[in-house]
Amino acid sequence: MKILKVNTAAITTEGAPQMVEMHRSEWTAEDKKKANVDNIAKNILYKTFDKNMFAKIKTCTTAKEIWEKLTQLCKGNDQTKENKLIVAIQKFDNAKMKPGETLAEFDERFSSIIIEHISLGKEYSNREIDLKFMRAFPREWDVENLAMRESKELNKLELHDLFADLKAYEF
């Protein structure tokens, strides 16, 4: 953490004061509190990383630098974002309930795909999500799917409500 002070020994021609780093012995109680908050934030961030991610941010000196590095690493550039979105759309399009997979397991997997889309800026209507969710079931669910499509208004039905109704059919 760098605490800065005005350098009174140097005068700039632009009129703006020159800043220099303040030595720790000169810190006020407020400066010490700021430095401690930064240390607490860094500690919280460090505890969330695996060894691989820690190796990428260990050279950062402040919590702000760590956060900026994480943003750069996780978001990537525009091409990376586009590639992530393409892969996410493929996951959505190819989502199918696996043989032996329970409804709860499929719901969890499907919901994570939807969350990934939202985080990448792609959103679907309730109807699109519900129809895709129901199309992903094996043939033995056809009767339940048809009943749900006929009895519910899919434009207003949230995925979790659809899941609850289908869970009742599963029992």
- Taking CA atoms, 114 is separated from 104, 120, 126, in Å, by 15, 10, 11
Tally of residues, the chain: 171
> Model confidence at 11, in pLDDT bands (50, 70, 90)?
low
The domain in which residue 54 lies consists of 4-74
Q: Which residue has the higher pLDDT, 171 or 28?
A: 28
Does residue 92 sit in the same domain as residue 155? yes
At residue 130, the pLDDT reads 80
The residue among 49, 74, 99 that closes a domain is: 74
The residue among 58, 74, 90 that closes a domain is: 74
Does residue 64 sit in the same domain as residue 97? no
Q: What is the pLDDT of residues 142-170, one digit of tens each?
A: 766 666 666 666 666 677 777 777 776 66
The residue among 31, 57, 74 that closes a domain is: 74
> Could you tell me what percent of the chain has a pLDDT over 90?
5
* 19 Cβ neighbours under 8 A, 6+ residues apart: 4, 5, 6, 7
At residue 154, the pLDDT reads 63
Does residue 131 sit in the same domain as residue 52? no
At residue 66, the pLDDT reads 92
Does residue 65 sit in the same domain as residue 11? yes
Does residue 113 sit in the same domain as residue 55? no
Does residue 87 sit in the same domain as residue 33? no
User: Residue 33: is its pLDDT beyond 70?
Assistant: yes
Does residue 13 sit in the same domain as residue 87? no
Q: Which residue has the higher pLDDT, 153 or 130?
A: 130
The region of weakest confidence among 56-65, 107-116, 132-141 is 132-141
Q: What is the pLDDT of residues 67-84, one digit of tens each?
A: 988 888 877 777 777 888
Averaged pLDDT, 112-138: 84
At residue 13, the pLDDT reads 59
Does residue 68 sit in the same domain as residue 137? no
User: Residue 104: is its pLDDT beyond 80?
Assistant: yes
Averaged pLDDT, 7-33: 77
> Cβ-count burial of 90 within 10 angstroms (0-12 exposed, 13-18 middle, 19+ buried)?
exposed
Q: Is 19 helix (H, G, I), strand (E, B) or coil?
A: strand
Give the number of domains in the chain.
2
> Are the C-beta atoms of 109 and 97 separated by less than 8 Å?
no
Does residue 103 sit in the same domain as residue 165? yes
HSE-CB at 66 with a 13 A cutoff on CA atoms is: 21
At residue 100, the pLDDT reads 86
Does residue 46 sit in the same domain as residue 126? no
